[in-house]
Amino acid sequence: MDQSSPTPLLVSETPVEIQTELARRGIGFEQWPAVEELPSEADQAWILKAYANDIARVKSDGDYATVDAIRMTPDHPERGALRSKFLAEHIHAEDEVRFFVEGRGLFCLHIGAEVLLTLCERGDLIRVPAGTKHWFDMGSEPAFCAVRWFNNSVGWVATFTGNKISERFPKLD
């Protein structure tokens, strides 16, 4: 609950249970095979080509103008600044759709009086509806790659709520 100390009401590692609980709150969650191993030098073009079939499958479900890939490593020069930005509670004017093809990240969804901490790992696809308050933690030593779909041509655009709620909840580390 968002108004008390963060005592979990449910902890699960069962994909079907996670999918069911998230769906009850309007959040999409699926698991797909992330079959491509990413070489260390894989750039965005390589990643998008490797996952072209999955990208096309998601694009057929929505009106996505832009698709990109974000890859964070422990030595990324902007890791601290990006982590701070993503850790602030925010909303988007569009759905946030992510497919994790490598590593993991923690989506924290603030829905009504609840906060759902959802660890997304390789093979997980999450769909967070527009207007859903949330934050994302990639950890202090980030190691993930996610394909991202956007309904606009700009890419990631957030409106920050100013709520400091994320400071009360566990981080990925």
CATH number at residue 127: 2.60.120.10
| Position 109 in a domain | yes
Query: In order along the chain (173 residues), what is the average pLDDT of each group of 10 residues?
Result: 66 92 96 91 95 92 89 94 95 94 96 93 96 96 95 87 93 90
| Position 96 in a domain | yes
| Position 99 in a domain | yes
pLDDT score of 1: 57
C-beta separation of 123 from 147 below 8 A: no
| Position 138 in a domain | yes
Q: How far apart are CA 165 and CA 154, in angstroms?
A: 28
pLDDT score of 28: 97
C-beta separation of 104 from 120 below 8 A: yes
Number of Cα atoms under 13 Å in the Cβ half of residue 75: 1
| Position 113 in a domain | yes
Q: How far apart are CA 6 and CA 21, in angstroms?
A: 18
pLDDT score of 4: 61
Alpha-carbon separation of residue 105 from 38, 56, 124, 139 (angstroms): 17, 23, 10, 7
How many domains would you assign to the chain? 1
C-beta separation of 168 from 77 below 8 A: no
| Position 11 in a domain | no
C-beta separation of 22 from 134 below 8 A: no
Helix residue ranges, H only, 51-165: 52-59, 79-87
| Position 136 in a domain | yes
Supply the range of the domain harboring residue 140: 67-161
Query: Is 0.85 surpassed by the pTM of this model?
Result: yes
| Position 25 in a domain | no
